[in-house]
Structure 1
């Protein structure tokens, strides 16, 4: 039974909405959100607008839909999004999402990015491994302390860390717009972005992991809004939607600025291996030696806010579904595991996270869209089942194709790749899951709406 009345019957103030939006922004905007848009701008060059629009679909619209999915279905986490497909699927989906954005890939990246981009350039090369070990230990120790008391999360993220990050980031933007490195619209375009810039930008948005994070952060967001007295599902969902829209609008504007900034760098720098190197070049160009210190602080602050959200969401969800282990124990487990993974280094983390993202993102997108539209078909499990079943094979093929060459270029990998390219539409664009998912959804909706008609006819004929 849900409560029928809020503990706080009054509308939230503008200040309260701002704090919730600021918390959501801080949860979403982390390591990848800073480096991938800049790298996209470098890859797209003069086509930065088209590529940027594709990026905004998966990096802004989809995370916003994930927040709406949580509020529409009155869910309290990623488990509830998969629940129409049964307990075991929901549990497996929750675990995979949390491991991917948590201790295996996403959370360790929040420490390796600020170290690799901001701190390592200031250290002697012989200190690289020891420096990462010390930095990641301090980083996850701090994340653990901030998220230890759950009621602290909104205050720390929304009122303290996030404004500091924004102040630092906009100082970089101000310099970039005041004295541009070059004209973005006249820069060279890399081969992949000459004819399919929108779709390549779309796929680059996967790297932010924000659609997955939006589902996982659901429990953190719902808990924080309940602390403001909005305890009923309806009012809690309404606040979530408004705050989510404000937060994602701000993120979208920052992405556009970062992509443009990346494109302008081509006038003076070559395309870098990743956006972190490019951002380092930008800051150093404008601020010289002091730029490194600013960069280290900037990226550490934004990554810490995301790390806090990730470890808290992991611990909250796992404590809820595996209650024999306490929140604080799960928190310690995910922080320690993230610390261990971080010390493999940024390059390895990114290379091995891509296949998992290519596998999980199609399922996440299908479940998010179905959840938002679920009032139309009353969350009928048949619609979910057919959509997900039809998505499974292309998602698996995308995962194999994204593995490092030891897998993707093996005889097994090449044979699957040939099948994928020859028989699945849109495979060359990385969207081979889209048509099967739509077909599955149509069949599921047909089954849902025709079932009462067929049942009525059967009842009539039996009465006769």
Structure 2
């Protein structure tokens, strides 16, 4: 321990690896290899867009929440009721409704090829999920000690396994790279940007601070400004690690763009690459990577969700919340990975534009706080547009709605122009009011 104001470099690195372990789960493993495979010769712009939403925005989210204090302190600028509902929606989406069940389902999908042929998959899935969530629940009972587990043991082990797989692909490249496939054959930058939504890391960045702050205080840093600084440092460390892995995984996918061009799942890409370079042992290594990564994230998410809802509803203890989320997630995970992923897209399309807008405004909060009604108007407009489009996509995809006339609708960014116009309107009204008051006083 260095004192009450700053962590040592070793401690800061450990906390950064802890945050990386909490972030790096199913989506982070599946998406970059498939992006590389499908983007092919257009990998540079596609990966650039993916890194913006997959790393850039989550790091900014960590910083913004650290500056605000909590996610609620940020969203309450819109309205306390909105803040409470939106933050709860984020916790539920990255928790029991989507991300936590996905960790178990993805892990099982990678382990399934290693099972004997006569084992019933549904029975095996049920047994696996029960064991998976039992272990995750037990390890999440002490959220203040996650640094010792994720930062010192499972996080470094995961990084070493990933290095083994990616370096094998880097030092043994194939001769040709395939052309870009749909949807990356048109607007690869925008498609990569939208694909980054599916990592769910921006949503997670708005919530992970509560557990990371607990771990930082346990290391002796107690001053609020110092805690915020250390959270930001941890975000930078985690972002660098994840960025390097994304590039390595995307390169691995590019190398297989002519080998398995019809692959539809990033897990298949990694598993195939590992098998090509390490034989059947490679399949086991890939399965170990997925299991370790998903278990790390599951532990972190149960801890975050349990901690938040205990604060919101203190009459119910952390133990009960954590157990409830683990049990519910176990049930949902048995519906299978495809069902979970199908449900995820409209939910993320509703939450992500609002989260992006919150982060951008949070970076300029000193200015935004001085403009009357800027927070509720801009966030309200983005919420209406994104939720409307998501509901249409989920319930009646062929139905035409007025928002279909907005620019950038073809790349899923139809909310951008309304957000900008709402901000300009609020700022203009504010300037006119100030000018009018000055004239009256004169």
Q: Scaled by the length of structure 1, what TM-score is found?
A: 0.91
Quick check: 365-374 or 376-385, which moved more? 376-385
Q: 1:123 to 1:101 in 2, by over 3 A?
A: farther
Q: Does residue 3 of structure 2 align to residue 8 of structure 1?
A: yes
Match of 1:54 in 2: 49
Alignment of 1:181-220 (within 5 A): 181-183=174-176, 186-220=177-211
Q: Does residue 106 of structure 2 align to residue 124 of structure 1?
A: no
Match of 2:29 in 1: 34
Selected match of 2:167 from 158, 174, 181 = 174
Quick check: 116-125 or 81-90, which moved more? 116-125
2:220 counterpart SS class:
coil
**Matches of 1:379 and 1:165 in 2, distance apart?**
45
CA offset digits 1:94-143 (Å, max 9, x no partner): 11111111111111111111110233453426521111111111111111
- Residue 245 of structure 1, CA deviation: 1.2
Alignment of 1:298-317 (within 5 A): 298-317=289-308
Quick check: 88-97 or 173-182, which moved more? 173-182
2:364 counterpart SS class:
helix
Bigger helix fraction? 1
Match of 2:309 in 1: 318
Selected match of 1:391 from 360, 379, 382 = 382
CA offset digits 1:376-431 (Å, max 9, x no partner): 3337661111111221332024313542xxx334xxx4223xx333x211001110
CA contact (8 A) 2:361 2:368 kept: no
Q: Does residue 228 of structure 2 align to residue 245 of structure 1?
A: no
Q: Does residue 420 of structure 2 align to residue 425 of structure 1?
A: no
Alignment of 1:241-390 (within 5 A): 241-378=232-369, 382-390=373-381
**Matches of 1:304 and 1:322 in 2, distance apart?**
27
Match of 2:215 in 1: 224
**Matches of 1:174 and 1:137 in 2, distance apart?**
34
CA contact (8 A) 2:168 2:277 kept: yes
Q: 1:244 to 1:449 in 2, by over 3 A?
A: farther
Alignment of 1:431-450 (within 5 A): 431-448=413-430
CA contact (8 A) 1:118 1:280 kept: no
1:188 counterpart SS class:
coil
2:206 counterpart SS class:
helix
Q: 1:140 to 1:384 in 2, by over 3 A?
A: same
Selected match of 1:145 from 133, 138, 142 = 138
**Matches of 1:118 and 1:381 in 2, distance apart?**
54
Match of 1:134 in 2: 127
Q: Any stretches of 5+ residues in structure 1 without a counterpart?
A: 1-5
1:194 counterpart SS class:
coil
**Matches of 2:313 and 2:346 in 1, distance apart?**
28
CA contact (8 A) 1:72 1:237 kept: yes
Q: Scaled by the length of structure 2, what TM-score is found?
A: 0.95
Instruction: Count the aligned residue pairs.
Output: 442
**Matches of 1:109 and 1:244 in 2, distance apart?**
23
**Matches of 2:228 and 2:424 in 1, distance apart?**
28
**Matches of 2:378 and 2:140 in 1, distance apart?**
37
Q: 1:112 to 1:179 in 2, by over 3 A?
A: same
- Residue 12 of structure 1, CA deviation: 1.8
- Residue 149 of structure 1, CA deviation: 1.3
**Matches of 2:436 and 2:130 in 1, distance apart?**
62
**Matches of 2:275 and 2:237 in 1, distance apart?**
32
1:192 counterpart SS class:
coil
Quick check: 343-352 or 282-291, which moved more? 282-291
Q: 1:191 to 1:10 in 2, by over 3 A?
A: closer
Q: Any stretches of 5+ residues in structure 2 without a counterpart?
A: none
Match of 1:408 in 2: 396
CA contact (8 A) 2:94 2:301 kept: yes
